[in-house]
Amino acid sequence: MKTQVLIIGAGPSGLLLGQLLAQAGIDALIIERQTPDYVLGRIRAGILEQVTVDLLHEAGVGHRLAVEGTVHRGIELVFSGQRHMIDVAGLTGGKTVTAYGQTEVTRDLMQARSAAGLPSVYGVSELTLQDLDSNKPWVRFKADGQTQEVQADFVAGCDGFHGASRASIPRHVLREYERTYPFGWLGMLSDTPPVSPHAIIYANSPRGFALCSMRSLTRSRYYVQCPLDDRIEDWNDDRFWEELRCRLDVDTASRLITGKSIEKSIAPLRSFVAEPMRWGSLFLAGDAAHIVPPTGAKGLNLAAADVKLLASALSDWYRLGQSRAMDTYSERSLRRIWKAERFAWWLTSLMHRFPDTDDFGQRMQEAELAYLTSSAAAATTLAENYVGLPLEL
């Protein structure tokens, strides 16, 4: 079999790339290890920057987002028992973020792909990537018990952090940067009205970080910082709600509406960047190339920005025969990625309790929070990063 662009992975990166390439008249085949239901069962963050919202509209998958997404004009920071509003829209000339779950983005993209009759193969295994350093790369994999081979002009590695693409780049070419954090996030989803439908709440309390977010006006998403070795069985719903309440200001805690959880999971936090994002005919995008800790919800947004740059670079190649945008894809993407890495690392450092922080470190955190909520200059720095930096920096 032959295709122009072989996309590995049907997460948000692979699906959005497939959609943008189809619009540009470029053939692509997507291969995915899991089943569609499995992909839709993964609960991840749900805050979209304006750039991402615009891109989803441009890709023709923005109708449900426009109706069901909730626009947030600000965020709230809780510390020392007090809640402080950061007027993100006011500080950025009206820019906002939209609450709309990654699961829904994925569902919309999957539906658009199948409605357009575009090819995807789910449930592939034993994938190997071959001749990536040539202009005739090809892959071999198993699907439905049959071994298949596909040749392509280019391969897009959209297969997430544990995928096969990055692992195919020789060790002497690839440089990886990583930071892990000494805690995880315990997340819970419940069909209860969000405690704060207008703004996401980030809380730094003596018992650790907490976050109040939402998926819709009837579905809430909450998180609490927890030790990395905690097990999900240790956290029944009552314990979760009680812990969350303790970490919020009194007013928010008193308004919290609790109910049965519909999903609970613990995730470690990691910062990670792989350079370069291109090797020969292979281009990495999304989690395959970089991970941010979830504080600030940059993961999906970064993936969307990569894919936008990659789709237009490939379109320049097929439409105009120009390789410049492809040749600079890695460098241009990494410029934005490192800035988002910095922001996610900084917000994580500011809002969490680190087990080994001394009294001085603690005071520094408190002073920085006080500065942020009393200086327009400091709050603007937070706001402009929160809504997302421009696509090309």
6 binds ligand APR (CB under 6 A): no
3-state secondary structure of 183: strand
11 binds ligand APR (CB under 6 A): yes
Among 7, 20, 31, 56, contact with ligand APR (rule: CB under 6 A): 31
Q: Enumerate binding residues for ligand PHB (CB under 6 A).
A: 45-47, 200, 211, 213, 221, 294-297
Structure tokens at 75: 């965020």
Q: Which residues are catalytic?
A: 72, 202, 294, 298, 386
Residue 98 partner contact from ligand APR, ligand PHB, none using kind-dependent CB cut-offs of 5 to 8 Å: none
Question: Is the dihedral angle over the CA atoms 23, 25, 31, 37 positive or is it negative?
Answer: positive
Residue 383 partner contact from ligand APR, ligand PHB, none using kind-dependent CB cut-offs of 5 to 8 Å: none
**Shortest distance, CB of residue 177 to ligand APR, whole angstroms?**
17
d(CA 131, CA 151): 10
Q: Residue 28 or residue 47: which is nearer to ligand PHB going by CB?
A: 47
- The answer, yes or no, to whether the previous bond of 276 is cis (omega within 30 of 0) is yes
Site size with ligand APR, rule: CB under 6 A: 27
User: How distant, in Å, are the alpha carbons of 134, 142, 148, 266, 305 from that of 333?
Assistant: 23, 32, 32, 29, 8
14 binds ligand APR (CB under 6 A): yes
Position of tokens 């977010």? Answer: 213
287 binds ligand APR (CB under 6 A): yes
**Shortest distance, CB of residue 286 to ligand APR, whole angstroms?**
2
Q: In this chain, which stretch among 9-17, 58-66, 113-121, 225-233 interacts with ligand APR, using CB under 6 A? A: 9-17
Among 101, 286, 293, 388, contact with ligand APR (rule: CB under 6 A): 286
Helix (H) or strand (E) holding 102: helix 102-115
DSSP string for 210-273: EEEEEEETTEEEEEEEE-TT--GGG--HHHHHHHHHHHS-HHHHHHPPP--EEEEEEEEEEEEE
**Shortest distance, CB of residue 333 to ligand PHB, whole angstroms?**
22
DSSP string for 128-151: EEE-TTSSS-EEEEEETTEEEEEE
**Shortest distance, CB of residue 297 to ligand PHB, whole angstroms?**
4
Q: Identity (one letter) of the amino acid at 5?
A: V
d(CA 220, CA 189): 6
Residue 153 partner contact from ligand APR, ligand PHB, none using kind-dependent CB cut-offs of 5 to 8 Å: none
Residue 39 partner contact from ligand PHB, ligand APR, none using kind-dependent CB cut-offs of 5 to 8 Å: ligand APR
Residue 286 partner contact from ligand APR, ligand PHB, none using kind-dependent CB cut-offs of 5 to 8 Å: ligand APR
**Shortest distance, CB of residue 296 to ligand PHB, whole angstroms?**
5
Q: In this chain, which stretch among 77-85, 157-165, 258-266, 365-373 interacts with ligand APR, using CB under 6 A? A: 157-165
CA-based nearest residue to 252, from 206, 213, 218, 296: 213
d(CA 62, CA 66): 6
**Shortest distance, CB of residue 297 to ligand APR, whole angstroms?**
8
User: How distant, in Å, are the alpha carbons of 83, 88, 389 from that of 393?
Assistant: 33, 21, 8
Residue 47 partner contact from ligand PHB, ligand APR, none using kind-dependent CB cut-offs of 5 to 8 Å: ligand PHB
Residues 6+ away with beta carbon under 8 Å from 179: 270, 271, 272, 345
Residues in contact with ligand APR by the rule CB under 6 A: 8-14, 31-34, 39, 44-45, 102, 124, 127, 158-160, 163-164, 286-287, 299-300, 303
